[in-house]
Structures are given as C-alpha cells and as structure tokens.
C-alpha cells in the first residue's frame, strides 16, 4: 500500500496540536518543580512547522489577517499599560507571554487556514477537555474523586483550577451532544457520562450553566430548521420538555448537591439575602477592579498588575479579579479592553452577517463564541492559550462562511 505522506503529515499536525493544547493546560503541574515546560511546548510548535512543511512540500503560505492585526493591537496595549504599572516587570512579563501566544497563533493558523471545515479543530477542543479531565482524576486519584462526590464537596486547586477543569469538561460534553445530534453514534460518546461526574466534582457553577444552556441551544437551533413553522414550534416544545425532565432527574443525583448549593448561594449573594464566601469575594474583586480602573482609566495600572494589588489584600499570589472584562479594564484600561474585545466584535458582526443556521458547524461555533463572552464575566481568559485557540477557530469559521457566501453569489 502506497504511503500518503501528505495525509500522514496532516494527521501528525492534528495530533501535535492536540498534544500542545493539552500540555499548555497541564504541564505546569504535571512536571512538578521542573521548569522546562516552555521548551516542551516549543518542541511541539517546531513539530507543527516541520510537518506543515512536509504537507505543503516546503512552501510557506503566510496570510496576514484581521486576527493577526487585532492581536498586535492588543499586544501594543499590554506594553503601553506598563507605563503606569505598579510593577512594570509583571506587566512586561505578561506582555511577552501574549507575544509568545501570538507566535503560536501564526503557526497554528498556517496549519489550518486552508481547511474547508473547522471540524478537526472542534474535535481537538473536545478531546482536550476529556484528556485534561481524566488526567486530573489520575493526578488526584480515583478514590479522592469518589470521596469528593460522596461527601458533596469539590476538588482542590492543587492541579489545574477546578473551574477550568469544569469548563473544559462542559465544553467536551456539549460538543459530544453536538456530534450525537448531527453525526452517527460513536463509541466515544459514552465518555460524556463519567465526565459529567468530574464536572460535578469541580463544583463549577459556570460549567453547569454552560452544559445546560449549550444543550438547550443545540436543540433550539435544530428544531427551527424545518420550513414548517408549526412543526418547528411543536418540535422545540417537545425537545425542551424532554430536556427539562431529564435535567431535573440528573440534577437530583447526590453528586450535584454541592454545585446546586453554590448556585443558590450565588443567587442569594446577588439578591442581598446571603451568599457564600466565594461569591462575596468575587463581588469584592469587581469593586477592587473598578477602583484600579479609576486610578488609570486610559492605559490601566499595568497588565496582570491587579494581582499585585490583590496580594496586599488577600495575601495570595496571582490572584486575578475573576472577571475578564474587569481584569482588562483595570490592568490595560479602556485601550486594552477595546483592542481585545474588538476581536470579538469583528467575529460577532461577521457571524451574524454570514449566518447559516443550516450549517451544523456554524451552530456549534456560534454557541462557543457566545459562551466565551458570557463566561468571561466570571473568569479571566485573556492569558490562556486555549482562549486564543478557540479565537482562531472562530476566525476560521468566519473565513469559511465568507467564502461560502461569495461562491453562492457567483
């Protein structure tokens, strides 16, 4: 059998991308005290370049896009914020981290820019979620997880942050439901069930909300594909009724007691009738962020410098503001916030302009895009490599939609 070098190189690019994304999330605690994690990631990027050159027969096809332009503007805003930074070294270090992520994006974008679909990237995101979740179980031990679930507690943050693990698992579960709805059943679909238990152990409210809302949106979008409006409405009502019944039954399981209690505490905190310490701290962090923003509203107090201020209050290193909007507003000012979210404005505008609800991928990508914007209200995401991986996926989807619209107009 003749060996297809191009196909083999393409498969290796997919595998190395998956490995890179998983390692970017886990390598900091997987290596313990070792400090060579950056070199491992560099080797992965080098592998991507090598197999890209093999696939493209030595030809480099670099295209400068809006994604690259917006990233450069954001990098400029990060370096600009160092001017008024309380600790310029912290700001410069984080700015250089964004530069390294930009270099990562250049390599990844070249590898996937000519793909007619983002399906391979969606599967990378899904498998990353599963691998990280099950590696976290391996890190703590299965007995530990069983104890956590049986005692209505939540896992520690000794490895990856519990909320991050929960959101990765939620992403994987929603994508699995997507593939179950729009593709034939696969053996790996069953992995979503134990992952749901891992999600419960993280106690992540954001993850639970994303699973519920994500699945509902998948059914809503599929229900309205029929040209018969009455049929679509009846199908939607039936789907939602079934989801509500199943959802209530699942949430009655003892393992969800902790996350549901945390949800109740969060509602109580926002209504002023109580609340848990986690929610109260997050609310105080938002107030701190606004105070820092008022100190330097244009360029901010320095990217990543809110952690310098929170250290004096809470005595914890790298304690961010738990809100990406407030974190950027405080750290990089109006300039940084606008340059960063201008990327999402561009994406949202074009996703609406070139909308195609008959495209399965469009529906999934739109849900991921909206979820990112919503989840940013409860997490800091601008410094994560996985955030920019998904941002690249969004840009590629827009590129595919634009090409499809142009071809249809001919």
φ, ψ dihedrals at 52, nearest 5°: -65, -45
Percent of the chain at pLDDT above 70? 89
The pLDDT value recorded for residue 88 is 92
Of 403, 405, 401, 394, nearest to 70 by C-alpha is: 394
What mean pLDDT comes out for the span 308-324?
83
Is there a domain that residue 81 lies in? yes
Residues 18 and 152 in one domain: no
pLDDT of 258 over the 90 cut: no
pLDDT tens for 57-108 read 888 888 899 999 999 999 999 999 999 898 999 999 999 999 999 999 999 9
Q: What is the pTM of this model?
A: 0.90
Number of domains composing the chain: 2
Do residues 301 and 157 both lie within one domain? yes
- pLDDT above 70 (res 129): yes
- Whether 395 has a pLDDT exceeding 60, the answer reads yes
308 and 323 housed in the same domain: yes
Within a domain: residue 128? yes
Residues 14 and 146 in one domain: no
pLDDT tier at 1, thresholds 50, 70, 90: very low
Region 281-303: mean pLDDT is 90
Higher pLDDT among residues 377 and 160, named by residue: 377
Per-residue confidence band for 182, with pLDDT thresholds at 50, 70 and 90: confident
Residue 209 has what pLDDT? 85
* Dihedral angle computed from the Cα positions of residues 41, 47, 49 and 55, in that order, rounded to the nearest 10 degrees: -150
Q: 128 with 40, same domain?
A: no
Instruction: For residues 336 and 207, state if they share a domain.
Output: yes
Residues 333 and 223 in one domain: yes
Average predicted confidence (pLDDT) for the chain? 86
pLDDT tens track for 356-389:
888 889 999 999 999 999 889 888 999 999 999 9
**Mean pLDDT lowest for which of 129-143, 224-238, 307-321?**
224-238
Tell me if 27 is assigned to some domain. Answer: yes
Higher pLDDT among residues 1 and 76, named by residue: 76
Q: Which residues contact 79 (CB under 8 A, 6 or more apart)?
A: 91, 92, 95
Residue 117 in domain: no
Q: With respect to residue 163, please indicate whether it lies within any of the assigned structural domains.
A: yes
SS3 of the chain: CCCCHHHHHHHHHHHHHHHHHHHHHHHHHHCCCCCCHHHHHHHHHHHHHHHHHHHCCCCCCCCCCHHHHHHHHHHHHHHHHHHHCCCHHHHHHHHHHHHHHHHHHHHHHHHHCCCCCCHHHHHHHHHHHHHHHHHHHHHHCHHHHHHHHHCCCCCCCCCCCHHHHHHHHHHHHHHHHHHHHHCCCCHHHHHHHHHHHHHHHHCCHHHHHHHHHHHHHHHHHHHCCCCCHHHHHHHHHHHHHHHHHHHHHHHCCHHHHHHHHHHHHHHHHHHCCCCCHHHHHHHHHHHHHHHHHHHCCCCCCCCCCHHHHHHHHHCCCCCCCCCHHHHHHHHHHHHHHHHHHHHHHHHHHHHHHCCCCCCHHHHHHHHHHHHHHHHCCCCCCCCCHHHHHHHHHHHHHHHHHHHHHHHHHC
- Is 355 a domain residue? yes
Q: Is the pLDDT of residue 9 over 90?
A: yes
The residue among 45, 61, 77 that closes a domain is 61
Same domain, 49 and 78: no
pLDDT of residue 163: 84
Collect all residues with Cβ–Cβ distance below 8 Å to 210 and sequence separation of at least 6. 167, 170, 171, 174, 371, 375
Looking at the predicted structure, is the pLDDT value of residue 196 above 70?
Answer: yes
**What domain range is 56 assigned to?**
1-61
Give percent above pLDDT 90 in the chain: 47
Shared-domain flag, residues 47 and 154: no
Please say which residue of 22, 46, 61 terminates a domain. 61
**164 lies in a domain?**
yes
Among 61, 79, 97, residue at a domain's last position: 61
CA–CA separation, 220 vs 366, rounded Å?
A: 13
Compute the distance between CA of residue 71 and CA of residue 61 in angstroms, rounded to an integer: 19
> Are 11 and 88 in the same domain?
no
What average pLDDT score do residues 161-188 get? 88
Question: Are residue 98 and residue 38 in the same domain, yes or no?
Answer: no
- The pLDDT, as a whole number, for residue 113 is 93
| Mean pLDDT computed over 199-222 | 85
Domain match, 212 and 293 both: yes
**Higher pLDDT among residues 119 and 257, named by residue:** 119
pLDDT recorded at residue 345: 95
């Amino acid at each position: 059998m003749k060996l297809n070098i191009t196909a083999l190189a393409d498969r290796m690019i997919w595998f190395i991308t998956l490995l890179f994304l998983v390692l970017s999330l886990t390598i900091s605690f997987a290596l313990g005290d070792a400090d060579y994690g950056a070199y491992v990631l560099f080797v992965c990027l080098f592998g991507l370049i090598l197999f890209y050159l093999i696939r493209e027969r030595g030809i480099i096809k670099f295209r400068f896009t809006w994604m690259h332009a917006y990233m450069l503007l954001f990098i400029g805003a990060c370096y600009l914020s160092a001017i008024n930074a309380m600790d310029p070294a912290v700001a410069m270090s984080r700015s250089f981290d964004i530069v390294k992520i930009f270099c990562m994006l250049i390599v990844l974008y070249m590898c996937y820019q000519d793909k007619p679909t983002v399906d391979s990237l969606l599967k990378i995101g899904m498998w990353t979620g599963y691998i990280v979740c099950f590696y976290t179980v391996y890190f703590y031990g299965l007995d530990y997880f069983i104890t956590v679930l049986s005692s209505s507690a939540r896992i520690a943050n000794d490895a990856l942050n519990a909320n991050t693990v929960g959101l990765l698992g939620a992403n994987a579960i929603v994508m699995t439901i997507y593939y179950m709805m729009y593709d034939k059943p696969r053996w790996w679909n069953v992995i979503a069930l134990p992952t749901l238990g891992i999600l419960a152990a993280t106690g992540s409210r954001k993850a639970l909300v994303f699973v519920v809302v994500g699945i509902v949106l998948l059914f809503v979008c599929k229900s309205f594909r029929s040209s018969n409006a009455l049929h679509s409405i009846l199908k939607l009502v039936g789907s939602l009724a079934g989801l509500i019944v199943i959802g209530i039954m699942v949430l009655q399981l003892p393992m969800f007691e902790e996350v549901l209690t945390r949800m109740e505490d969060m509602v109580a905190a926002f209504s002023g009738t109580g609340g848990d310490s986690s929610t109260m701290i997050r609310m105080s962090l938002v107030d701190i962020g606004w105070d820092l923003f008022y100190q330097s509203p244009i360029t901010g107090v320095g990217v990543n410098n809110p952690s310098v201020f929170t250290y004096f209050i809470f005595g914890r290193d790298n304690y961010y503001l738990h809100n990406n909007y407030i974190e950027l507003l405080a750290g990089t000012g109006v300039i940084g916030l606008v340059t960063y979210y201008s990327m999402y404005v561009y994406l949202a505008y074009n996703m609406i302009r070139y909308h195609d609800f008959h495209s399965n991928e469009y529906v999934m990508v739109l849900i991921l895009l909206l979820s990112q914007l919503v989840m940013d209200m409860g997490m800091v995401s601008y410094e994560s490599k996985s955030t920019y991986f998904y941002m690249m996926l969004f840009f590629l989807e827009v590129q595919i939609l634009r090409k499809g619209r142009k071809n249809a107009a001919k």
